[in-house]
Structure 1
């Protein structure tokens, strides 16, 4: 029988104590037999994230100068087991066999560099249709919020820490070219986050930079203007529709209140 390689869970966190509390509760109560260690990699949180981590007895490591690739490299260097599953604090496994499926995939394929799990309809459709990472590295490549990778492969091919984002996709492309494989397994997780407008803007900037660095997606004035116009049209339409249906709901409730005594006699 092949020896169990052990599995480490990495959680990247910044000021998400409430989400972190649930994530750790979920991991420690439902999956304790599948997990060898949990590491919280924290980016200078000023909430109760450290206390929450200590409450559940997991390792807590601070990173001062955060980058997506750099944080993944630091976490990979700190864990003690061959399989690493990386989450953000706002993501957590759902299916009961989540980690068992990941372990089984790595045991069955020594050439496997990483495993992508399922968190939306696109992931599920690609899995059902047997779309592979070689044909669709963007869609089937790793997403470092519910993916697993092999530490021995990482030691040969570290994550790039000089790109704004998409460090997971860049690594996927690189190891695929080296002859490794990446697959999707039907292990289901939830990606649960509500970003502020400022956070959405920061994410947008990072993705523009990352897309340019990784896929050389350039920005033209016409594209930028079209995006703004479409955003304005969509926002205006949504605003009008919200007002319209809000008014319809008000009318319905008023009519319901007026008719209720007769309808329920």
Structure 2
């Protein structure tokens, strides 16, 4: 295999997750990859120190956008194949990078591969629903995926879209006769957002859906979402309290009995 692999990690103040990812990459996959680059959005934690600890390259991007950071990552990478991760994701399958390499080696028209991490991925992969049939759910996703740098040089990522830069790129490369496939290897993706971060993501998703898929949202839909959120919140609160109280009385009942009966 002649392809060189660059692993690029997008990061902002995720030092703990970043260290785990770098530990994983350098201890389990170092023979299969040629360089590791951390693209950092002005972190104030120990991200740079941790990056240097594992011998990876630290690059700072100041004016962050999803498409812009994707282009920045591709510019900095020296490899033929660029595998992208968020700091809070990491490869799991033992042959993760070797399978990706083989995919690109086998198909000269392959622009990118999407690896597996959700039930949707497994379902579309098993049912052979490719990116042509479902560019949204079978196209590139900008973590745990890989793309060919030569294709990116002809078709860079769109830095004007607020989000879904990966889906936008998928549509454009397919239109130009390239292909995107699933790679049958697994990665894990862990993300937790504050309410403010969730709001920011939802507003950007709305704009991205409109720009890329021309999907509009009606005021009535937004209002129904408010009402559904309120009702679900009330329902969940009631159930949480109900089962917490029920468990409390179970503990009281348990304590009245002899706990020794339950020991083995």
Shorter-chain TM-score category?
over 0.9
What is the aligned partner in structure 2 of residue 208 from structure 1? Answer: 206
1:249 aligns with 2:250: no
Residues 53-87 of structure 1: CA deviation (Å, up to 9, x unaligned): 01011000000000000011011011111100001
What is the aligned partner in structure 1 of residue 83 from structure 2? Answer: 85
1:187 aligns with 2:192: no
What is the aligned partner in structure 2 of residue 125 from structure 1? Answer: 123
> For residues 259 and 11 of structure 2, what CA distance do their matches in structure 1 show?
53
- When residues 247 and 150 of structure 1 are mapped into structure 2, their CA distance, relative to the original with a 3 A threshold, is same
What is the aligned partner in structure 1 of residue 113 from structure 2? Answer: 115
What is the aligned partner in structure 1 of residue 38 from structure 2? Answer: 40
> For residues 53 and 150 of structure 1, what CA distance do their matches in structure 2 show?
24
Residues 119-163 of structure 1: CA deviation (Å, up to 9, x unaligned): 011100111111111000001001001100000000000000011
What is the aligned partner in structure 2 of residue 258 from structure 1? Answer: 256
What is the aligned partner in structure 2 of residue 151 from structure 1? Answer: 149
1:22 aligns with 2:20: yes
Length-normalised TM-score, structure 1: 0.97
What is the aligned partner in structure 1 of residue 99 from structure 2? Answer: 101
Q: In the TM superposition, what is the alpha-carbon distance from 1:196 to its structure 2 partner?
A: 1.3
Length-normalised TM-score, structure 2: 0.97
Instruction: After superposing the two structures, state which structure 1 stretch, 228-237 or 111-120, moved more.
Output: 228-237
> For residues 95 and 261 of structure 2, what CA distance do their matches in structure 1 show?
50
> For residues 83 and 16 of structure 1, what CA distance do their matches in structure 2 show?
25
> For residues 98 and 3 of structure 2, what CA distance do their matches in structure 1 show?
12
> For residues 246 and 238 of structure 2, what CA distance do their matches in structure 1 show?
12
Residues 75-100 of structure 1: CA deviation (Å, up to 9, x unaligned): 10111111000010000001101111
> For residues 264 and 129 of structure 1, what CA distance do their matches in structure 2 show?
47
* Alignment match of 2:224 (pick from 223, 226, 236): 226
Structure 1: tracts of 5 or more residues without a match: none
> For residues 128 and 89 of structure 2, what CA distance do their matches in structure 1 show?
25
Over the aligned positions, Cα root-mean-square deviation in angstroms equals 1.1
> For residues 81 and 223 of structure 1, what CA distance do their matches in structure 2 show?
45
> For residues 264 and 30 of structure 1, what CA distance do their matches in structure 2 show?
43
- When residues 264 and 45 of structure 1 are mapped into structure 2, their CA distance, relative to the original with a 3 A threshold, is closer
What is the aligned partner in structure 2 of residue 62 from structure 1? Answer: 60
What is the aligned partner in structure 2 of residue 52 from structure 1? Answer: 50
Q: In the TM superposition, what is the alpha-carbon distance from 1:30 to its structure 2 partner?
A: 0.4
- Secondary structure of 1:15's counterpart equals coil
Structure 2: tracts of 5 or more residues without a match: none
Q: In the TM superposition, what is the alpha-carbon distance from 1:260 to its structure 2 partner?
A: 2.4
- Secondary structure of 2:209's counterpart equals helix
> For residues 208 and 234 of structure 1, what CA distance do their matches in structure 2 show?
22
> For residues 180 and 120 of structure 1, what CA distance do their matches in structure 2 show?
24
- When residues 264 and 102 of structure 1 are mapped into structure 2, their CA distance, relative to the original with a 3 A threshold, is closer
